[in-house]
Amino acid sequence: MSWVIATFLPFVIILTILVFVHEMGHFLVARRNGVKVTVFSIGFGPELFGWTDRHQTRWRFSLIPLGGYVKMLGDADPSSARAADNSELTEEEKNQTLHSKTPLQQIAVAAAGPAANILFAIVALWALIVIKGVPFISPVIHKIEPGMLAEKSGLQVEDKILKVDSQIIEDFQQLRRIIGQSAGKDVSFEIERSGAVVHKTISFYEVDPVTQEKKSFARLGIMPGEPEYIRHNPIMAIGYGLSLCWDLTVETFSGLVRLVTGKSSSSELGGILSIGDMAAQSTKNGLTSVIWLMSLLSINLALINLLPIPVLDGGHIFLSSLEIIRGKPLSAKAQELIFLAGFLLVAGVMLFATWNDLLRYKVFQIIKSWF
């Protein structure tokens, strides 16, 4: 029980903060555009506690702390996928619904959540640089994820990566970028281990022995130790914070592109257990590690939500943009089918990520050992 608390309590706290930031972006821009928000919920399911403000918005904390939503007047569901039967609303109330607004206003509301997450990451990284400094992460392996390529290739904790394909490695961020471009390749590593230099060639792919199909991936499954920090004044830190956020955004986007295009193995996809493990590790490493992880997760949350998949913010942006091009919205039936397909896709990806976690952390073997 203590392990569960140590692993998932940091995860729940971090996720709650990031979800609050994301939904607050939607909330503020919706209110700014004259849309009435009826519910602001942290979590899903039955309400645990909450209150109603003077604008008749119900602020609530719900039972399942794995996300959140803002529900707007006239929406049939929290995703704002379709309008409810608004025949009983007054004309004034109808003008306060999201679906009564122009496509550009709807795009602004949808984009505000991801924008808030990016802004949060910039501010968090700026604060980290002012308080602690610009992080320098030595290319030394601090932890190896079970079942991943690093473990299979014989890499060890405390290995220092000196070169990759004859390119000198100066820090872990550089190593991460190079690994991200290694999908489908045989890559040579020069490693310092216990004072000796070791050479390894690691294949960032595997070949199915039956079908001979080549599956590429671009993750080793290694984690660095605590970074060192070089401090800067608050003005200089703005530039460093923006640059660092941009680098993390590009890196995250590249990872998503590789995953979507099949250049990275789907086995690299992690779910709640993986994020919970990272949150627990960052908590052990101190506040700066937590801020770093929150910045990275906030960027991930923004980019994932911007994917043009119905039920995600990017799906709303895509459909509103399509309405601008066509001069009219899609039919209610077409939108309903599109959002259903989007929901099934997102649910399928979440289930697949959870399955990967169960295999990665050997949950089935652990349960079997109990009997």
pLDDT of residue 19: 92
Tokens describing residue 55: 């604008």
In this prediction the pTM is: 0.73
Catalytically annotated residues:
23
| Helical ranges in the chain per DSSP H | 2-32, 91-94, 103-131, 149-152, 172-180, 234-261, 272-285, 287-305, 313-326, 332-360, 363-369
pLDDT for 81: 63
CB hemisphere CA count around 302 (13 angstroms): 27
Contacts of 177 by beta carbon, 8 Å cutoff, 6+ apart: 251
- CA-closest candidate to residue 172, choices 239, 234, 247: 247
Query: DSSP 3-state assignment of 71?
Result: strand
Q: What is the pLDDT along the chain (371 residues), one digit of tens a residue?
A: 555 566 678 888 888 999 999 999 999 999 999 999 999 999 888 999 999 999 899 999 999 888 889 998 877 666 666 666 666 778 888 888 888 889 999 999 999 999 999 999 999 999 888 887 777 888 899 988 888 888 888 889 999 999 998 889 888 888 888 888 888 888 899 999 988 998 989 888 888 778 877 777 778 888 888 777 777 788 888 888 888 888 888 878 877 777 777 666 666 677 777 777 778 778 877 787 888 889 989 998 998 889 888 888 998 899 889 889 988 887 778 877 888 888 788 788 888 878 877 777 777 777 777 76
Tokens of 209: 């022995």
pLDDT at 59 (0 to 100): 94
Contacts (Cβ under 8 Å, ≥6 apart) of 14: 279, 290, 293, 294, 297
Distance CA 82, CA 37 (A): 15
Q: Which residue has the tokens 């660092």?
A: 244
Nearest to 184 by CA among 223, 153, 142, 219: 219
Contact 74, 84 (CB under 8 A): yes
User: What confidence score (pLDDT) does residue 343 get?
Assistant: 77
Q: What per-residue confidence (pLDDT) applies to 302?
A: 92
Domain boundaries, the chain: 101-135+226-371, 138-224
User: Could you confirm whether domain 138-224 is CATH 2.40.50.140?
Assistant: no
The 3-state DSSP class for residue 244 equals: helix
Please report the pLDDT score of residue 82 as a whole number.
62
| pLDDT number for residue 80 | 67
d(CA 245, CA 223): 19
Q: Which residues contact 361 (CB under 8 A, 6 or more apart)?
A: 146, 273, 277
Closest alpha carbon to 75 in 65, 85, 66, 67:
85
User: What count of other Cβ atoms lies within 10 Å of the Cβ of residue 285?
Assistant: 16
Give the length of the chain. 371
